[in-house]
Amino acid sequence: MKRALFTALAATMLAPSAFAQQHDAASSAIAAAVADDRRPEGDVARDPLRKPAEIVEFAGVEPGMVIAEIAPGGGYYTRILAESVGPDGKIYALMPGFFATRPGGLDGINALAEEYGNIEVVVVEGYDTLELPELADLVWTTENYHDLANGDIDTVNRGVARVLKPGGLYFVEDHSAPGTGTSATSTIHRIDPMAVIAQVTSAGFVLEATSDVLANPADPKDVSPRDVEPTSEKFALRFRSAQ
């Protein structure tokens, strides 16, 4: 009896945990997404500086997730996220309202939605009224939080909280300007990570993890990111909804 119990316990200890299997599946999906040959050459050329596999994994992306991406721009991360979540997942590309009124303003993101099949474009007129067809597992924003902070950032962060599932994730990556608060957001297009943490946690989120994978000690951090070679220092923050 004791021998049988010991054998059973040993087998349990040696077997891969469900968490490890889930993590491995997510890592494999992300690696495949970064290696996807549909990605433009220009995007691939930026990978050594943007480190997308490390960033997407840090953000907590997993197959099957529903992700809302704020202001996806040219779609660098939209493509990777769409492939990472796979056919059972969904990407809601949140486009600022002025793009919809600009001739051809939505052409690029609409083309991505048609190509990938699991991307849906949502035009955002205001975060006070932001709604999605379903609640998201993760809200994602890269290199544009500082622009959002030039407006009513409390409303933005409350809107993010409203469209997340309970315990959902909020990922923020942006150009770093330590010690400046929000004074550099409209001048050199950077923001103090501590200011972001204060703003987001006041909206009901808990800071879960930080990453320095995009740190660059050579960046003086007091000039525009466009004036830094080869790239500016960026911070990455992962928050979880406390609701």
Q: Please state the domain extents for the chain.
A: 2-241
Q: Is the pLDDT of residue 169 over 70?
A: yes
The C-alpha atoms of residue 31 and residue 168 are separated, in whole angstroms, by: 23
Give percent of the chain above pLDDT 70: 93
**What CA–CA distance (Å, rounded) separates 34 from 43?**
10
Q: What DSSP state is assigned to residue 216?
A: -
Instruction: Give the tokens for residue 72.
Output: 């996806």
Alpha carbons 19 and 10: distance in angstroms, whole number = 18
Kindly tell me if the per-residue pLDDT of 74 is higher than 90: yes
Continuous H helices in 62-221: 76-85, 97-101, 107-116, 145-148, 153-162, 193-202
Residue 16 DSSP one-character state = P
Exposed, middle or buried, 71 (CB in 10 Å: 0-12/13-18/19+)?
middle
- Domain 2-241 class in CATH: alpha beta
Cα separation, 67 vs 61, whole angstroms: 8
Beta partners for 66? 90
Instruction: Read off the pLDDT of residues 33-67 as tens digits, 9 standing for 90 and up.
Output: 999 999 999 999 999 999 999 999 999 999 999 99
Name the residue among 108, 234, 119 with its Cα closest to residue 171: 234
Torsion angles phi and psi, residue 61, rounded to 5: -70, 135
Residue partners of 222: CB distance under 8 A and separation at least 6? 177, 188
- Which pLDDT does position 18 carry in this prediction? 72
CA–CA gap between residue 190 and residue 176 (Å, rounded)? 6
Say yes or no to pLDDT of 1 above 50. no
Bridge partners (DSSP) of residue 236 are 173, 211
Query: Is the pLDDT assigned to residue 84 strictly greater than 80?
Result: yes
